[in-house]
Amino acid sequence: MNEQFKDIYSGITDKMEKSLVSLGNEFNSVRAGRANPAVLDQIKVEYYGVPSQINAVAGVSVPDARTIIIQPWDASILKEVEKAILASDIGINPNNDGKSIRLNFPPLTEERRKDLVKQIHKIAENGKVAVRNIRRDAMDIFKDMKKKSEITEDDLKSAEKDLQDITDKYIKKIDQKLEEKEKDLMAL
């Protein structure tokens, strides 16, 4: 790797790493038949006019493998939490007992698993597009440097190869995460 471009490569790697973390968060929000509080991360509840995450306004517990219990700290928002869950796309009907909300996760059907696998493939493809966009933006920086005669044609070719190596590494990481999530979804 060209030492001259170390700072640029570092910035690119940071951006790609953030894309990978974002992908992991999106994968966690896809429910896998077991109770996982991460499915609630994308759901926002109106709390005194401010959209807030459920875990910021309530205690979330997982008493067993198929149940999540949500206990709002302020009982007045129980209905709001219930509405937010119903409006989300997690596919679970909340049971409100007046003090808490219980989410029971049924075992996934084969058809639902296949739908979820399609969904995670779309998420992974979006992650790959984000990584490729980072590469493209970085290439634009190098091409601009070449145009201003700050670097040579050989430097540009070297940078292009290095960028492709970094991109390939992150695409491979995305594929690994996808494979793990797919196994998780199909193993239940």
What average pLDDT does range 150-166 have in this prediction? 91
Range with the poorest average pLDDT among 127-131, 132-136, 178-182: 178-182
What residues does each domain of the chain span?
3-28+109-186, 37-104
Same CATH topology for 3-28+109-186 and 37-104: the answer is no
37-104 has CATH 3.30.1360.40 classification: yes
Most confident of 50-54, 128-132, 158-162: 128-132
The tokens for 165 are: 């190596």
A 10 A CB-CB count for 116 gives 21
CA distances from 124 to 144, 146, 156 (A): 30, 33, 29
Q: Which CATH fold topology does 3-28+109-186 show?
A: Topoisomerase I; Chain A, domain 4 (1.10.132)
Question: Does residue 128 surpass a pLDDT of 90?
Answer: yes
Is residue 102 scored above 60 in pLDDT?
Answer: yes
Task: Enumerate the H helices of 29-152 as residue ranges.
Answer: 54-57, 78-87, 110-147
Identify the residue whose tokens are 């517990």. Answer: 61
Angle formed at CA 32 by CA 28 and CA 34, multiple of 5 degrees: 105
Structure tokens at 158: 């070297």
Which 3 state secondary structure label does DSSP give 31? coil
Taking only the tens place, the pLDDT of each residue in 4-49 is 788 888 999 999 999 999 998 888 777 666 677 777 877 888 888 8
CB 166 within 8 A of CB 15: no
